[in-house]
Amino acid sequence: MRKPLTLLLVAVLLGVAGCAGAGAVGAGGRTLVVAIVANPQMQDAIELSDEFERDTGITLRFVTLPENQARAKITASVATEGDEFDVVMISNFEAPQWAQNGWLENLEPYIEASDGYDEDDFIPSIRSSLSYRDSLYAVPFYGESSFLAYRKDLFEQAGLTMPANPTWQQIADFAAKLDDDEQDIAGICLRGKPGWGESLAPFTTVANTFGASWFDENWNARLNTPEFKKATQFYVDLVREHGEVGASSAGFSECGTRYGQGQAAMWYDATVMAGTNEDKSSSKIVGKSGYVAAPVEKTKSSGWLYTWSLAMPKVASDKQGAWEFMKWMTDKQFVKSVGEKFGWNRVPPGCRESTYDIPEYTRAAKAYAQPTLDAINEATQENAMAGKVPYPGIQFVGIPEFQDLGTRVSQQLSAAIAGQITVDEALAQSQEYADTVGQAYRETR
Amino acid sequence: MTSSVLPSNVAAREETTPARKQAPARSTTWRRRLPLLPALIFTIVVTQIPFVLTVVYSFQSWNLVRPGSRHFVWLQNYVDVFVDSQFRTALLNTVLLTVFSVLLSMLIGLALALLLDRKMIGRGVVRTLLITPFLILPAAGALLWKTTMFDPTYGLLNFVFGGNTDWLAEWPLTSVIAQIVWQWTPFMMLLILAGLQSQSKEVLEAAQVDGANRWRTFASITLPQLSRYLQLATLLGAIYIVNSFDSIFLMTQGGPGTASTNLPFYIYQRAFQGFDIGQSSAMGVIVVILTMIVATFALRLMFRTFSVTGGVK
């Protein structure tokens, strides 16, 4: 009895192996490895990728990781020129730096050879943030700026009106009035979780609009200026007095949960939050939010600029195949496929102007489509910063050292939010960190 | 660690077999060792070669995100590491975390083991329930504690005690220690329980006959008997807890500020967020050396104290 069973097992296994082999041969043996960040829009793309595999015969293997882990893995792989990934997902923080380092393939020749791939359709601010010497080195998948969401119903109850372009002082006053401990509703949700992509993103836009900057034009660290101190004190006080509980460990997703559960009256964060706020499966407050531009103090606007985009490492082996995939995922047709298959709220926003001409999309995203587009269009250094700075980026400092510097400074900020150290102590320590980095740039200039 | 133990053993064996001839002995020992060779080579490949490379990297200034920055700086990285105040904080945190976690989990484990050593109804069920924390994946355990226990809004702690304390922000290191103690108590308990159950009943009965009360029996008979198990528990616990990463990564991310950053997490940050290969390698080397020193001294100290006061061999 036992022997035939074993034989049967062997036969089945061989059969399965044979089929797998045949499948690989049938597909022409072309396999692409794609490193991608595990955000909802990317998950949708992975689900749709069967279509791409069917049309081109190229097999796709996705390496999907949360943002911080993906960034570490992709950076290490690309920097050591390990031929691990054919396509990588990077942001506008990495793209210009890596292009300058010669790690990325210039995409212009590929774009020119592709008919109907409308490069001029990309929103200009996003496009220029991914370019190096006027050539695109990464194609945007989605783009975002930052704005403020507020609960229209709570504002009405309290008899308050939100101006179209609020100042931070007004927001602080609103937060004080709407902060309701008994109902467990915080006045405002702001990120406090350490990480240069977490708390420092909203915080740096606040610092910018208060007239502060990380470095001056000669790379002197400016974290000890009165402006920077005023901005930090404002942010820390606001979130400590009227912010959410557990603020020092709250990032984008934690704030999203609180706001979505109706536990905050306002939330200043990335424009993509609108998609989750208005999604019935994740939010209890669908349709109750209004969206206004990022609050300002001394500057014209204050929203940040960020985009997740696809790039091709210079060492990638199958470049034509890689481009086919990048084209598929950032094309106009892809936007339509997502809208038709998953619903128009889930379309990757903020990278193609034509998306905002699709009637179904403008209807589904009525509350936030225009504010998003306006915020992205306005997000330039000229609009969002009071002075000139020697680095690219609005909510980040576009130098390689910033990942480390930003993380360290954000830890100090979190400690101040948690009340473990004072703002002065946090800034004194941060200024030291920043000065070490600035010194290296002063010397090499 | 083992080097201090080995020579005496080897010497003892050679003394007891003086009659054996030298030449055939050598060839047989080599024949005996041959099957071990693949394992040895494997160990060298996966542990020793990476370590040597790490030492080489630690002499270089090399930041991954700045191409062309790689050059030898020899001991500069080590100097930088010792000047770095954050490294010292991380070192202190590691010591606090390890000492308190090991001590607490051992005390609780001892108490639970003593209770479990008694006959009672449902002992098997209770034992299984007590072991469960150790069987849960460390990452899952850390996330459970973060959300179901410590969360200021949904957490059980605030539900029971009231208020809205943000435990992970106000008591970061204590919270992490609590989670680690929860995770490691069952391990300590099991080891100690094994020790308790290997006690001979006759000795205990004799003590009772001699009129020793419970406390006296525990202090003079049970504890010396347990000493070797306690040593083992301390050593194994310390080795694992020094390397704690999951709970800190998942619960506090080393924060707020650097309040709960320990060495493994700090090295991870320097290597994979700062991409500073040179400095993080130097830290790795320093940690290995420090651990070796501490482990050697701790072991010697333990063997000496226990063999004198305990009198158990």
**pLDDT tens digits, residue range A78-105?**
988 888 999 999 999 999 999 999 999 9
d(CA A112, CA A95): 20
d(CA B255, CA B92): 15
Q: Give yes or no for residue A241 having a pLDDT over 60.
A: yes
Q: How far is A400 from chain B (nearest CA, A)?
A: 6
Among partner residues B64, B67, B269, which is closest to A407 by beta-carbon distance?
A: B269
Angle ∠(A174,A177,A183) on CA atoms, nearest 5: 120
Least Cα distance to A41 among A190, A129, A143 occurs for A143
Which secondary-structure segment (H or E) carries B279? helix B277-305
Q: Does A145 touch chain B (CB under 8 A)?
A: no
Q: Give yes or no for residue B311 having a pLDDT over 60.
A: no
pLDDT at residue B22, rounded to an integer: 53
CB-based contact B158:B164 (threshold 8 Å): yes
Do the domains spanning A29-137+306-362 and A146-305+379-444 agree at the CATH topology level? yes
In DSSP terms, A63 is beta-bridged to A35
d(CA A294, CA B48): 54
Q: Give yes or no for residue A383 having a pLDDT over 80.
A: yes
Identify the residue with better confidence: B19 or B41. B41
The tokens for A300 are: 């014209």
Which secondary-structure segment (H or E) carries A189? none
For B118, phi then psi, to 5°, come to -85, 155
pLDDT averaged over chain B? 84
The tokens for A54 are: 């069917």
A418–B65: do the CB atoms touch at under 8 Å?
no
d(CA B230, CA A440): 52
d(CA A233, CA B137): 41
pLDDT at residue A145, rounded to an integer: 94
> In which band, very low, low, confident or very high, does the pLDDT at B199 lie, cut at 50, 70 and 90?
confident
d(CA A216, CA A438): 10
d(CA B308, CA B289): 29
Least Cα distance to B73 among B82, B87, B62, B63 occurs for B62
CB-based contact B250:B146 (threshold 8 Å): yes
CB-based contact A86:A317 (threshold 8 Å): yes
The tokens for B141 are: 């355990």
Q: Which of A74, A101, A249 to mutate to test the interface with B (most CBs of B within 10 A)?
A: A249
Least Cα distance to B98 among B2, B232, B234 occurs for B234
Q: Does B163 touch chain A (CB under 8 A)?
A: no
> In which band, very low, low, confident or very high, does the pLDDT at A17 lie, cut at 50, 70 and 90?
very low
The tokens for A169 are: 């002082």
Percentages helix, strand, coil for chain A (3-state, rounded to 5) are 50, 15, 35
Among partner residues A403, A407, A418, which is closest to B170 by beta-carbon distance?
A: A418
One-letter amino acid at B19 equals A
pLDDT averaged over chain A? 89
Q: Does B3 touch chain A (CB under 8 A)?
A: no
CB pairs under 8 A between A and B: 99
Q: Which domains does chain B have, with CATH numbers?
A: 18-72 (no CATH), 80-310 (1.10.3720.10)
d(CA B162, CA B153): 10
d(CA A151, CA A264): 8
Q: How far is A2 from chain B (nearest CA, A)?
A: 33
CB-based contact A214:A394 (threshold 8 Å): no
d(CA A130, CA A111): 14
pLDDT at residue A26, rounded to an integer: 39
Q: Domain coordinates of chain A in residue numbers?
A: 29-137+306-362, 146-305+379-444
A40-67: average pLDDT: 91
Least Cα distance to A101 among A67, A139, A137 occurs for A137
Q: Does B213 touch chain A (CB under 8 A)?
A: no
- A246 vs A176, A273, A312, CA distance in Å? 18, 20, 39
In DSSP terms, A148 is beta-bridged to A268, A292
- A414 vs A191, A258, A403, B27, CA distance in Å? 9, 19, 16, 65
Report the greatest alpha carbon distance in chain B.
Answer: 79
Structure confidence by residue, pLDDT tens digits, A388-431: 999 999 999 999 889 889 988 999 999 999 998 999 999 999 99
Q: Does B246 touch chain A (CB under 8 A)?
A: no
Does residue B256 have a cis peptide bond before it, meaning omega lies within 30 degrees of 0? yes
Q: Give yes or no for residue A23 having a pLDDT over 50.
A: no
Identify the residue with better confidence: A28 or A298. A298
Structure confidence by residue, pLDDT tens digits, A180-213: 888 889 999 999 988 888 899 999 999 999 999 9
Q: Give yes or no for residue A22 having a pLDDT over 60.
A: no
pLDDT at residue B23, rounded to an integer: 55
- A238 vs A73, A233, A293, A416, CA distance in Å? 35, 8, 19, 12
One-letter amino acid at B97 equals L
Least Cα distance to A243 among A417, A427, A424 occurs for A417
CB-based contact A123:A352 (threshold 8 Å): yes
Structure confidence by residue, pLDDT tens digits, A151-189: 999 999 999 999 999 999 999 999 999 998 888 899 999
CB-based contact A263:A187 (threshold 8 Å): no
Identify the residue with better confidence: B273 or B262. B262
Residues 311-350, chain A: which have Cβ within 8 Å of B? Answer: none
pLDDT at residue B10, rounded to an integer: 42
Q: What does DSSP say about strands A31-37 and A266-270: parallel, antiparallel, or unpaired?
A: unpaired
Answer yes or no: CATH 3.40.190.10 is held by domain A29-137+306-362.
yes
Least Cα distance to B180 among B248, B132, B112 occurs for B248
d(CA A170, CA B101): 48
Least confident of A303-317, A401-415, B154-168: B154-168
Q: Does A398 touch chain B (CB under 8 A)?
A: no
| Distant-in-sequence, close-in-space partners of B91: CB < 8 Å, separation ≥ 6 | B263, B290
| Distant-in-sequence, close-in-space partners of B226: CB < 8 Å, separation ≥ 6 | B110, B192, B195, B196
Q: Does B169 touch chain A (CB under 8 A)?
A: yes
Q: How far is A293 from chain B (nearest CA, A)?
A: 30
Percent over 90 (pLDDT), chain A: 68
Q: Give yes or no for residue A20 having a pLDDT over 60.
A: no
Q: Which of B273, B276, B279, B280 to mutate to test the interface with A (most CBs of A within 10 A)?
A: B273
Sequential DSSP letters for B236-262: HHHHHHHT--HHHHHHTTT-STTTT--
CB-based contact A156:A356 (threshold 8 Å): no
Q: Give yes or no for residue B164 having a pLDDT over 90.
A: no
B256–A194: do the CB atoms touch at under 8 Å?
yes
d(CA B34, CA B37): 5
pLDDT at residue A143, rounded to an integer: 93
Q: Give yes or no for residue B142 having a pLDDT over 70.
A: yes
Least Cα distance to A36 among A45, A27, A23 occurs for A45
The third-level CATH classification (topology) of the domain covering A146-305+379-444 is: D-Maltodextrin-Binding Protein; domain 2 (3.40.190)
d(CA B280, CA B267): 6
Residues of A in contact with B63 (CB under 8 A): 400
Q: From A418, which residue of chain B is nearest by alpha-carbon distance?
A: B169
Q: Does A199 touch chain B (CB under 8 A)?
A: no
Q: What does DSSP say about strands A31-37 and A87-91: parallel, antiparallel, or unpaired?
A: parallel
| Distant-in-sequence, close-in-space partners of A4: CB < 8 Å, separation ≥ 6 | none
Q: Which residue has the tokens 């002075």?
A: A387
The tokens for B293 are: 């020193």
* pTM score of the predicted model: 0.78
CB-based contact A213:A386 (threshold 8 Å): yes
The tokens for A428 are: 């004194």
Q: From B250, which residue of chain A is nearest by alpha-carbon distance?
A: A249
pLDDT at residue A11, rounded to an integer: 43
Q: Does A113 touch chain B (CB under 8 A)?
A: no
Structure confidence by residue, pLDDT tens digits, A264-287: 999 999 998 988 888 888 889 999
CB-based contact B255:B166 (threshold 8 Å): no
Sequential DSSP letters for B213-240: -HHHHIIIIIHHHHHHHHHHHHHHHHHH
Residues in chain B, overall count: 313
Of the segments A245-249, A367-371, B309-313, which one has the largest average pLDDT value? A367-371
Least confident of A4-18, A24-38, A215-229, A305-319: A4-18
Q: Does A79 touch chain B (CB under 8 A)?
A: yes
Report CA A160 to chain centroid distance, whole Å.
31
Q: Does B179 touch chain A (CB under 8 A)?
A: no
d(CA A421, CA B310): 48
Sequential DSSP letters for A205-261: HHHHHTT--SB-TT--B-TTSHHHHHHHHHHHHHHHHHS-TTGGG--HHHHHHHHHT
A45-70: average pLDDT: 91
Least Cα distance to A234 among A185, A168, A175, A300 occurs for A168
Whether this model's ipTM surpasses 0.85 comes out as no
pLDDT at residue B7, rounded to an integer: 42
Q: Does B88 touch chain A (CB under 8 A)?
A: no
Indicate the SS3 state at residue A167: strand
